[in-house]
Amino acid sequence: MSVNIDAHIFWERLSKLHKAWGAARSPEEIWKGADALAIDSGAASEEDLYCKSASLQTWLLGYEFPDTVVVVCSRSVVVLTSKKKATLLEPLKIAANAVLHLELLVRDKIDDNQANFTLLLNAIKNSHAGSIVATLCKEKPKGEFAASWRTALAEAVPSHVELAPALADLFSAKDSAELVPAAPL
């Protein structure tokens, strides 16, 4: 199976997410004052029939990327994933409609991703005030990678807000690529 990520759709939807977050970022609004967004996914699991992290990945990329962390910041997006998946994402960096700096990090088993986690956490701390991160708190991703990331994030940025309601609101408005024409009667 060949994976082909549509750069135009990716950047269009990421721009929509980024604008929605920027427009309603205050603590009283739907993004709850989040300074950065951290969306993690664990190991692939047939048990989890629906989760927002997979929905966001599918909405942005057209595919699920297990064992991946996506951090959306005020001026950049940082993705930590496997080497193979990073290679699939590389063309997005040079797309004509890119709206933010995209940094791709490759998972590293040698140091158990500690250097990568530091880069992700620095990106969060440098986004707006860097003290509140929106995550999918209710999701419980499976696997050692996700557990290590969640521990590092909790230690570095103790203030978390739930991201699911904001994503649900974002997904509720469909774009032209998502609309399927009605079948003739």
Chain segment 12-23, per-residue pLDDT in tens: 999 999 999 999
Q: How does pLDDT run across 165-177, given as a tens digit for each residue?
A: 999 999 988 877 7
What average pLDDT is seen over the chain? 93
CATH number of 7-171: 3.40.350.10
Distance CA 62, CA 58 (A): 4
Question: How many residues in the chain?
Answer: 185
Specify the pLDDT at position 133: 98
| Residue 112 backbone zone (phi > 0: left; psi -120 to 50: alpha; other: beta) | left
- Per-domain boundaries in the chain: 7-171
Q: With a threshold of 0.75, does the pTM exceed it?
A: yes
Q: In what order do the strands lie in the sheet with 159-162?
A: 101-106, 76-81, 68-72, 36-41, 132-135, 159-162
Q: How does pLDDT run across 77-110, given as a tens digit for each residue?
A: 999 999 999 999 999 999 999 999 999 999 998 9
Looking at 5-19, 47-61, 74-88, which range is the least confident one?
Answer: 47-61
Q: What is the CA radius of gyration of the chain?
A: 16
- Give the C-alpha distances (Å, rounded to integers) separating 61 from 58, 110, 126, 162: 5, 28, 25, 22
